[in-house]
Amino acid sequence: MLHIKDLVQTYPNGTQALNGVSLDIGRGMFGLLGPNGAGKSTLMRTIATLQTPTSGEITFDGFDVLREPEKLRETLGYLPQDFGVYPRVSAYDLLDHLAVLKGITGRGERKETVETLLQQVNLWTVRKKAVAGFSGGMRQRFGIAQALVGQPSLIIVDEPTAGLDPEERNRFLNLLVEVGEQVVIILSTHIVEDVADLCPRMAVLAGGRILLDGAPQTLIEQSRGRLWRRIIPREDLERYQQEYRVIAVRLFAGRTVIHVEAESDPGAGFEPMEGSLEDVYFRTLDTSRRSA
C-alpha cells in the first residue's frame, strides 16, 4: 500500500505544484488523470524520491519513503515522461547495464533477466538494434522493460502513451495489464481513455489538488440522469454556454455536439445520454474552474 498524506510542493519562485495531496493506492492499476500542468509529473517525481516535498508524508508497505529513499528505490520501477538513452548502445546491452545498476551483478542471473524482459515486451528480435533508433512505441516498451528490472513492487509510468499510434498504444496498454496485477502501478496521464481501459481506481489532479478519487464506474453512475446532449449550429455555441452548464463540446461527423449537466430535462431539443469517464473528468475540471 502506498500512502500519501498532505503532500505539498512549493518551488522557490512561489509556484505551488502540489497543494495538500492525499491518496491511498493499493495493488493493481491506479490512474492519475489531469490536464497538462496539473502537477502529475511533480507528484510522480516526488513519489519516486527524485525530489523532496516541502511538507507531507509518503509511506510504502509501512516504511517512510522520505526518510528511507534508498529503500524505495530498491523496489521501484520508473518510466518517466522522457527518458534518455545512449545513442549507439543496443537494447540488450543497455538493459544489461541497467540491470547491473539495479544490483543484479551475477552474469547468469542478469542474462536470464535481460532475455526474459526483452521477450516479454516483444523486443527480442531487435535486441541488437540501438534504442535511439526505435520507434516511439518500441521505446516505450523498452521503457517498461527497464522499469521491470529487479521485480519492483511499485511501478510509476508517466504519460506513457502520448504520441503513440493506436496499434502501439493498444500493445503497450496490454503489456501494462500483464504486469499490473500483483504490484502497485500508477498510470499518470491526461488521456482519459487510458484510465477508462485499465484502472479500477483513479483520481483527478488539477491545480496541484486532488479533485476526485474513486472507482471509474461508480463515478460514472453518480452522473446518471443528469447528462443531456444536443447537436447545435456552431455559431450558437456561445449562447448555449451562457444558458446551460455545458461540460463538454465535441464534434461528430463535422457537427457540434454539446453535453450539458442539468438536474431535470432542460427541454429545447436535448436528449438524455449515458455518461462516460470523459464526462466525469470534464465536469470535475469545470466545477474546479467555476469555484476558483
Q: What is the CATH number of the domain that holds 174?
A: 3.40.50.300
Give the lowest-confidence range in 53-62, 117-126, 175-184, 223-232. Answer: 175-184
Q: What is the pLDDT of residues 222-277, one digit of tens each?
A: 888 999 999 999 999 999 999 999 999 999 888 999 999 999 999 889 999 998 99
pLDDT at 289 over 80: yes
Q: What is the pLDDT of residues 188-237, one digit of tens each?
A: 998 899 899 899 999 999 999 999 999 999 999 988 899 999 999 999 99
- Domains contained in the chain, number: 2
Q: Rounded mean pLDDT of 58-77?
A: 94
Give CA–CA dist 292/121, Å, rounded. 44
151 and 270 housed in the same domain: no
- Of 192, 214, 236, at which residue does a domain stop? 214
65 and 168 housed in the same domain: yes
Q: Rounded mean pLDDT of 151-155?
A: 93
DSSP 274: -
- Of 147, 179, 214, at which residue does a domain stop? 214
pLDDT of res. 36? 87
Q: Rounded mean pLDDT of 126-154?
A: 91
137 and 236 housed in the same domain: no
173 and 189 housed in the same domain: yes
> Which position has the grid cell 528480435?
125
Residue scoring higher pLDDT (44 or 177): 44
125 and 256 housed in the same domain: no
Give CA–CA dist 41/254, Å, rounded. 35
pLDDT of res. 192? 92
Give the lowest-confidence range in 10-19, 148-157, 174-183, 235-244. Answer: 174-183
Give the lowest-confidence range in 119-123, 129-133, 173-177. Answer: 173-177
Q: Are 104 and 150 in contact (CB under 8 A)?
A: yes
On average, the pLDDT of the chain sits at 91
47 and 158 housed in the same domain: yes
38 and 137 housed in the same domain: yes
- 238 lies in which domain range? 221-291
- Of 214, 235, 253, at which residue does a domain stop? 214
79 and 136 housed in the same domain: yes
15 and 102 housed in the same domain: yes
pLDDT at 6 over 90: yes
126 and 166 housed in the same domain: yes
Q: Are 36 and 190 in contact (CB under 8 A)?
A: yes
pLDDT of res. 249? 93
pLDDT at 290 over 90: no
pLDDT at 292 over 70: no
131 and 158 housed in the same domain: yes
E-strand ranges in the chain read 2-10, 16-25, 28-33, 55-60, 63-64, 76-79, 154-158, 184-189, 201-206, 209-214, 227-232, 245-252, 255-261, 271-272
208 and 253 housed in the same domain: no
Give CA–CA dist 175/123, Å, rounded. 12
Residue 151: φ, ψ to 5° = 50, 65
